[in-house]
Chains A and B, each alone.
Chain A
Amino acid sequence: MSNFKRKLKRRHLINNLFMVLLVFVISISFLVLGTLLLEIFLRGYKTLTWDFITSMPSGRASRAGILPALIGSFGVIALTALISIPIGVGTAIYLTEYADKKSKFVKLLQLNISNLAGVPAIVYGILGLAVFSQLVGLGPSLIVGAFTLSLLILPVIIVSAIEAIKAVPNSIREGSYALGVTRWKTITGVILPMATPGIMTGSILALSRAMGEAAPLIMVGAVGFVTFLPNSLLDRYSALPLIVFNWTSRPQAAFAEIAASGILVMLILLIITNLTAIIIRNKTQIRVD
């Protein structure tokens, strides 16, 4: 056997061993994900009852429920959507359809957006605390939580909206402009209708991320243990990750169980929103060639 052949055998062996190692690496991720979901399901499914969903929190784990947190989460996320989507889409329209790509303002804006995407969530909480809560004087209210989360997910919405708008073929734009249609009417007439599925997918994913955020809300004074439902934008509120955090921090095992139930509710909502996003993306993809 030549030296090359002998070496080749070894090289193949090393290659195959490495492949096995990589498969092992991937299976670690799968294993962790599976364990995590199973662990939470096994801990939480027994206490995940209709009463749990429709009751107020309580000092006794057996009577505690998540109603205010559920309503609070819906409220905060709905407001966040109302604030962040118009601003994000507006910014994306400006950057793709109006701005002079070479202007200093645009370059600053792009650098700024990509930097904001890397700012830790808790820092947005500090911003919310200093500006909306203290400076504007809105306190630890629902609207402050929504403002804070809106700024947090704004970079994500902007980036996904830019991608969706850029995916609209230029021939469509030209077709509209060549008919003597103004820029804004071209945007509302053809560009946005075509970009909407992409924008919605990106926005839903961003909002579902916001729904799981606890740190920024804690910074702006939101708490887990709230025993009333918010009536106005200036009311105090709770949110699902906050009540889960509250229960997780308690030493009694019974609270760990209902925390797991709370997480299950959160995960179910996340699965629903993510599936919706995927369905929208797949169903309404418009093909133009």
Chain B
Amino acid sequence: MTKKKYLFQEKLIEVVLVLFASISILTTIGIVFSLLFETMIFFSEVSIFEFFTSIRWAPVFDPPSFGVLPLITGTLLIAILSSLVSLPLGLGTAIFLSEFASSKVRKVIKPIIELLAGIPSIVYGFFALTFITPLLRSFLPNTDIFNALSASIAVGIMTLPMVASLSEDAMMSVPNSIRQGAYALGSTKLEVAIHVIVPAAFSGIASSFVLAISRAIGETMIVAIAAGQTPSMSLNPLGSIQTMTGFMVNMALGDIQQGSIEFKTVFAVGSVLFVITLIMNLFAKYVIAKNREVY
């Protein structure tokens, strides 16, 4: 009664499964290397100093200029403006769902909030351009057709459910004993929420904020449609800008040839985007891991 031939089959299956599992690691390696490879070639042709300090982005002009700062500024503007929408609304939604709503009300509201996350970003882009922008222009007549604010509002609405659901998870995981302790001392719901629950769930809430901003930075179609194609150092929310993702899509829409400078530019900008979002995602995880309360 020693091991037999079926063990070979079992082993073979395990090997196949390991190969499947390795695909996700290969994906990361593939992303890093494809970005790194073209980016290195890019920097052999364009000075890295110019890339990070010049304030003019005009890679397809003659003479070209490769200062990525305007794209970063545009991205930052979208990130900030959209977080003005997503963070307070998302946190408010989470507080309501976790501390104020009955479980019946929660059951109705939650799926509707999650619907907002399920709508494709192209739809938000369309909505921003055809609805939000005209609305803004009726209040603020000097708003450009393509502008950062309109796109930011749409990005903010799209990332709101992320803040809401991650923050709610964090608040729900605060043990009921703590909640009851606070109520037993004679606190109102608001006092319990603000003074006890939010501080206790702080790391989870903070990481939801970081993740939502990271998502906004990587968001593409909304900004490609509604924010414009004007690389600019301006922080005017009513003006046309361009983000890193917006630039990449814009380049890809043209017929870019492998090896051309446009092609490499896309990868260089992609690298910046990847590094920024990766750092933010790791930071969000770090915040959670570091401050995990053990109840």
Contact = CB atoms under 8 A, between A and B. Distances in A.
Interface of A: 11-12, 14-15, 18-19, 21-23, 25-26, 28-30, 32-33, 35-36, 39-40, 43, 86-87, 90-91, 93-95, 98-99, 108-109, 112-116, 118-127, 129-131, 134-135, 151, 154-155, 158, 182-184, 208-209, 211-215, 218-219, 221, 223, 241, 244-245, 248-249, 256, 259-260, 263, 266-267, 270, 274
B27 A154 contact: yes
A122 B34 contact: no
Given A15-B188, A215-B245, A115 B278 contact: yes
Contacts of B258: 134
A218 B253 CA distance: 7
A127 B96 contact: no
A260 B130 CA distance: 10
B93 A131 contact: no
A91 B34 contact: no
Contact of A28 (B30, B89, B282): B89
Contacts of B10: 182-184
Contact of A130 (B34, B123, B278): B34
A86 B19 CA distance: 12
A248 B34 contact: no
B27 A90 contact: no
Contacts of B109: 26
B23 A87 contact: yes
Interface string B197-221: 0000000000000010011011111
Nearest to B97: A26
Interface residues of B, number: 78
A256 B130 contact: yes
* Secondary structure dominating the interface of A: helix
B248 A122 contact: yes
A35 B249 contact: no
Contacts of A223: 253
Contact of A245 (B17, B118, B218, B225): B225
B61 interface: no
A3 to B, nearest CB: 14
Contact of A123 (B9, B120, B270): B270
Contacts of A135: 34
Closest 3 CB pairs of A and B: A120-B218, A212-B120, A130-B34
Given A108-B25, A151-B27, A248-B122, 8 more contacts: A15-B188, A25-B93, A121-B218, A126-B31, A126-B34, A184-B9, A248-B125, A263-B126
A19 B115 contact: no
A183 B27 CA distance: 28
